[in-house]
Amino acid sequence: MEEVKEAKYYAVMFDCTPDVSHLEQMSQVLRYVRVVGNVPEFTERFIDFFTVSDKTGVALSDEILKKIEQEGLDIKNCRGQSYDNGTNMAGKYQGVQACISESNPLAKFVPCAAHTLNLVGVNADTVVHDVAGYFGTVNCLYTYFNTSTNRWEVLLKYSPLALKKSDARWSSRREVVTVVHKHLDKIVEALNHLELDAVLIPETKSGSVSLLKSIHTFEFVAFTCFWQKTFKK
């Protein structure tokens, strides 16, 4: 904290996540500029975890202000604040950023870029039919293989990386697109194997044929390449 006090001006980043005991933990990170050998350096330090119970914007801002005061920092010297885009954090009127801005209008709010990008990708499902169709096909692939131990074994025989379910989380979608992008040819081989297996029931074969038709399209391959490049950035 001595470095922060010496720098005087600082920015805050706070985020909440539940721990293994299901208690809500808020992480605290400070950013400031320090001078090293007459050269200014941007410095980012993790400071602490502390438990919170009330997740409303007003309650969380009170906890943040109390924490800053306990550490001997002046909120008036805060020049930036960054949180996710949740209403309780980024809300215009009752969010944490609004409450902190009341105490110090110079603490400019910058929403988390990663969370903003995550919202763009997730909400694309609701406005772009083709995107919803793409991730729907990816989930159908997962469901087809995951609901049968035999089909799952066939998939693992061809692909060293197993498919995962794609949910709304950015990290989840990145992981599943990476597998599809890297092993699409192996997934096709696994589906072909199941289609040609004489001992399988017709429903299993028709499922593999339907999925092969879905992924043997320009749109599916193009979306796989597009999302892979997007997630890398």
Per residue in 63-113, pLDDT tens? Answer: 999 999 999 999 999 999 999 888 899 999 999 999 999 999 999 999 988
pLDDT single digits (tens) 173-232: 788 888 899 999 999 999 999 888 867 788 888 889 999 999 999 999 999 999 898 877
Domains of the chain, with CATH numbers? 1-111 (3.30.420), 116-231 (no CATH)
Beta strands in the chain (DSSP E): 10-18, 24-36, 39-52, 78-82, 108-109
CA distance readout (Å), 37 to 41, 173, 190: 10, 44, 60
Helix count (H) and strand count (E) of the chain?
10, 5
CA atoms within 13 A on the CB side of 123: 6
User: pTM of this prediction?
Assistant: 0.61
In this predicted model, what pLDDT tens digit does every residue of 153-175 receive, in sequence order? 988 888 877 676 666 566 677 88
pLDDT in tens, 133-152: 998 899 899 889 888 888 88
The pLDDT assigned to 168 comes to 57
Question: By C-alpha distance, which of 68, 69, 67, 7 is closest to 32?
Answer: 7
The region that residue 33 occupies, defined by phi over 0 for left and psi between -120 and 50 for alpha, beta otherwise, is: beta
Nearest to 193 by CA among 133, 147, 144, 137: 144
Question: What is the Cβ-side half-sphere exposure of residue 227, based on CA atoms within 13 angstroms?
Answer: 31
Quick check: helix, strand or coil at residue 148?
coil
State which amino acid sits at residue 196: L
To the nearest 10 degrees (0 to 180), the angle between helices 129-146 and 113-127 is: 90
Is the model's pLDDT at 233 over the cut of 70?
A: no
On the CB side of 1, how many CA atoms lie within 13 Å of its CA? 11
